[in-house]
Amino acid sequence: MKTITICGSMVFFDEIKILEQELKSLGFKVFTPSEEWTGTDYSKLNRKEQSDMKQHFIDRHLEKIRNSDAILVANYTKGDIKDYIWANTFLEMAFAYALKKSTYVLNSIPEQPNTVEIEGLKPFILNGDLKAINNQ
């Protein structure tokens, strides 16, 4: 059974949970970002507390990627950016790339400042079709 870790902005957490169920129905074992962050009011934390918390979440998610066969980037429209992929997700993509894990991007690669770098990681673009993962 292939194991996939879903990566993406936490503003897409509800969508990530839906993707998790869809992937499981296709026979995949799935890791998702931690739900620990839900309910956290970062504005009440000082800078060190914020960075310590981020480090904790990053470390845990990178371990999930390490223990996966592939990652799926859940990228949807955020604000003015269609198919948003930003800092943490890009970091996770690069980590998967360094580990020689397959990287799937749910939607198209966005037009944003790091577009060329994202393309340089050579992800498989699914165009919304999760079943295409089985064809790779």
Residue 71 contacts by C-beta under 8 Å, 6 or more apart in sequence? 4, 5, 6, 7, 65, 92, 93, 96, 101, 102, 103, 104
Domain presence at residue 66: yes
Domain presence at residue 99: yes
Domain presence at residue 98: yes
Domain presence at residue 82: yes
Domain presence at residue 19: no
Domain presence at residue 40: no
pLDDT for the residue 98:
98
**110 is in which domain, residue-wise?**
3-12+25-34+50-135
Question: Model pTM greater than 0.85?
Answer: yes
- Cβ proximity of 102 and 124 under 8 Å: yes
Q: Is the pLDDT of residue 46 over 90?
A: yes
Mean of the per-residue pLDDT values of the chain: 93
For residues 5-15, give the mean pLDDT.
93
Count of domains forming the chain: 1
Domain presence at residue 93: yes
Specify the CATH number for the domain of residue 81.
Answer: 3.40.50
Domain presence at residue 39: no
Q: How many residues does the chain have?
A: 136
For residues 37-46, give the mean pLDDT.
79
Encode pLDDT of 78-117 as tens digits.
999 999 998 999 999 999 999 999 999 999 999 999 999 9
